[in-house]
Amino acid sequence: MKSYRVIITAIALLSVSMVSNAEVYFKTPSGNIICGGDMAHSTSGVTCDIIERSNSKPARPMPDWCPLDWGGRFTLNRKKAELECYSDYPYIHPDEMMVLNYGQTVRGNGWSCTSQKSGLTCKNTRGRGFFLSRKRQRIF
């Protein structure tokens, strides 16, 4: 009987450990916006990439220090939202991501993202965040 308790305790601890390190990967119904977010750590947040934009001007000018791609990756942590310099998508394959249907919200530790027909809005508990759509990208 004692060995069963040890096994059950080990399984319970493993489950808690797996949940505490949980990440979520999601995409909009169109598949044009893909995101990865940390569900457990308040210092982390969510990062989203917009694949195709119909506007050519990014939400913020490209800094001199960025030799890679600019204007398509947005990050949000507990303090602020910003554009990131990037070269590749740091996610699982989009086919394996859950679809965040219109009207649905996914929540992490200190952030949330809501999918709407007009675009995707992600914000932190301070009300800072970003809005992404094919036509417009905005940091607030």
DSSP-derived 3-state class of residue 4: helix
Tell me the C-alpha to C-alpha distance, in Å, between residue 85 and each of 4, 34, 93, 109: 51, 16, 20, 24
Q: 108, 37 in Cβ contact below 8 A? A: yes
Q: Which residues of 29-47 are buried (b: 16+ CB within 10 A; e: fewer)?
A: eeebbbbbbbbebeebbbb
Structural domain boundaries in the chain: 24-139
The token pair at 68 is: 């890679």
DSSP-derived 3-state class of residue 63: coil
Q: What is the pLDDT of residues 44-92, one digit of tens each?
A: 799 999 999 998 777 777 788 888 888 899 999 999 999 988 887 667 8
Contacts of 104 (CB under 8 A, 6+ apart): 114, 115
Place of tokens 């679809």: 99
Spatial distance between the Cα atoms of 79 and 40, rounded to a whole number of angstroms: 16
Question: Structure pTM?
Answer: 0.77
Q: What is the pLDDT of residues 85-109, one digit of tens each?
A: 888 766 787 888 999 999 999 999 8
